[in-house]
Chain A
Amino acid sequence: MKNKILNIKNLSKSYGAFKVTDEIAIDLNFDEIHALIGPNGAGKSTLIKQIVGSVKHDVGSIVLDQEDITDLNDVERAKIGISRTFQVSSIIPKFSALDNIILSLLDKSKETFQLFKSIRKNKELDFKAKKILKEIELSDKSNILASELSHGERRKLEVGLALAMDPKVFLFDEPMAGLDESGTKMMINLFKKIKTSSPILLIEHDMDAVFALADRVSVINYGKIVATGTVDQIRSNVLVRDVYLGYEI
Chain B
Amino acid sequence: MIIEKFFNKWIMFFLILIPTCGVIFDEPYFITLATKVVILGIAGIGLNLALGYCGLISLGHAAFFGIGGYITGILSFHALNDEVLFSWPLAVSGSSEMLIIWPIAILVSALLSFIIGLLSLRTSGVYFIMITLAFAQMLYFFSISWPNYGGEDGLSIYMRNSFPMVNTMDPLSFYVISLFWLLFSIFISLRLINSPFGMTFQAIKQNEERVKSVGIETFKVKLLVFVISGTITGLAGSLYTDLNRFVSPTVLDWHTSGEIMVFVILGGMARLYGPLVGAAFFIALEQTLGSYTENWQFWLGLILILVILFARSGILGLFDKKLKYEK
Let me know if B215 is at the binding interface, CB within 8 A: yes
Complex CA distance for A112 and B217, rounded to whole angstroms = 9
- Please state if B195 and A115 are interface contacts (CB–CB under 8 Å): yes
| Chain B residue with the shortest CB-CB distance to A81 | B215
CA distance A71 to B308 in the complex (A): 44
Cβ–Cβ < 8 Å partners of A96 in chain B: 325, 327
Total interface residues in chain A, CB < 8 Å: 40
**Shortest Cβ gap from B159 to chain A (Å):** 37
From B200, B210, B211, residue with most partner A Cβ within 10 Å? B210
User: Is A108 within 8 A of B215, CB to CB?
Assistant: yes
Contact with A along B188-220 (1 / 0, CB 8 A): 000110111111101100110111111111101
Is B221's CB within 8 Å of the partner chain A?
yes
Contacts A75-B212, A78-B212, A94-B325 given; indicate if A119 touches B217 (C-beta within 8 A).
no
Q: When the two chains form the complex, which single residue of A103, A111, A120, A145 contacts B214, counting CB atoms closer than 8 Å?
A: A103
Q: Is the CB of B211 within 8 A of A103?
A: yes
Q: Is the CB of A116 within 8 A of B216?
A: no
Do residues A99 and B199 form an inter-chain contact, with CB atoms below 8 A?
A: yes
Q: A90-B210, A107-B216, A115-B191 are in contact. Are A122 and B203 (CB under 8 A)?
A: no
Residue of B197, B203, B323 near A115 (CB, 8 A) is: B197
B326: chain A residues within 8 A (beta carbon): 94, 145
A95 to B196, CA, bound (A): 13
A122→B198 CA distance, assembly (Å): 14
Interface string of A82-116 (1 = CB under 8 A from B): 01101000111111100100111011100111111
> B198 to chain A: which residues have CB within 8 Å?
119
Q: Are B213 and A84 in contact (CB under 8 A)?
A: yes
B202 cross-chain contacts in A, Cβ below 8 A: 95
Supposing A96-B327, A103-B211 touch, asked if A112 and B203 sit within 8 A by C-beta, the answer is: no
Nearest chain B CB to A173's CB is how many angstroms away? 11
Query: In whole angstroms, what is the CA distance A58 to B196 when docked?
Result: 37
State which residues 60-82 of A face B: CB under 8 Å.
74-75, 78-79
Flag whether B224 is at the interface (Cβ < 8 A).
Answer: yes
8 Å CB contact of B215 from A75, A86, A117: A75
A118 with B195, Cβ < 8 A, contacts A74-B212, A74-B213, A113-B224 known = yes
Shortest CB distance B126–A (Å)? 22
Residues on B with C-beta less than 8 A from A78 are 212-215
Contact partners of A104 in chain B: CB under 8 A: 214
Q: Which residues of chain A are within 8 angstroms of B224 by Cβ–Cβ distance?
A: 113
CA distance A114 to B221 in the complex (A): 11
Contact across chains for B206 and A93 when beta carbons are under 8 A apart: yes
Asked whether, in the complex, the Cβ of A99 is within 8 Å of the Cβ of B209, the reply is no
Question: Chain B 212-253 against A: per-residue CB contact (8 Å), 1 yes, 0 no?
Answer: 111111101100100000000000000000000000000000
Give complex CA distance A145, B327 in Å: 8
- A22-71 contacts to B, CB under 8 A, are 52, 54
Question: With A and B bound together, what is the CA distance between A143 and B326 in angstroms?
Answer: 10
Q: By the criterion CB–CB under 8 Å, are B209 and A54 in contact?
A: yes
Please give me the residue from chain B that is nearest to A113 by CB atom.
B197
Residue of A nearest to B220 (CB): A113
* Distance to closest chain B CB from A92 (angstroms): 5
> Which residues of chain B are near A118, meaning CB under 8 Å?
191, 194-195
The answer to whether B215 and A107 have CB atoms under 8 Å apart is yes
A90 to B211: give the CA distance in the assembly, Å: 10
* Complex Cα spacing A237 to B84, Å: 86
B124 to chain A, nearest CB (A): 15
Interface residues of A (CB under 8 A from B): 52, 54, 74-75, 78-79, 83-84, 86, 90-96, 99, 102-104, 106-108, 111-120, 122, 125, 143, 145, 161, 164-165
Contact sample, A vs B, 8 pairs, CB 8 Å cutoff: A74-B212, A83-B214, A99-B199, A112-B217, A113-B221, A114-B196, A161-B210, A161-B214
Additional A-B contact list (11), CB under 8 Å, known A54-B212, A119-B195, A143-B327: A78-B214, A90-B210, A93-B206, A95-B199, A95-B206, A95-B325, A96-B325, A99-B199, A116-B191, A117-B195, A118-B191
- Residues of chain B touching chain A, judged by Cβ–Cβ distance below 8 Å, are 191-192, 194-200, 202-203, 206-207, 209-218, 220-221, 224, 323, 325-327
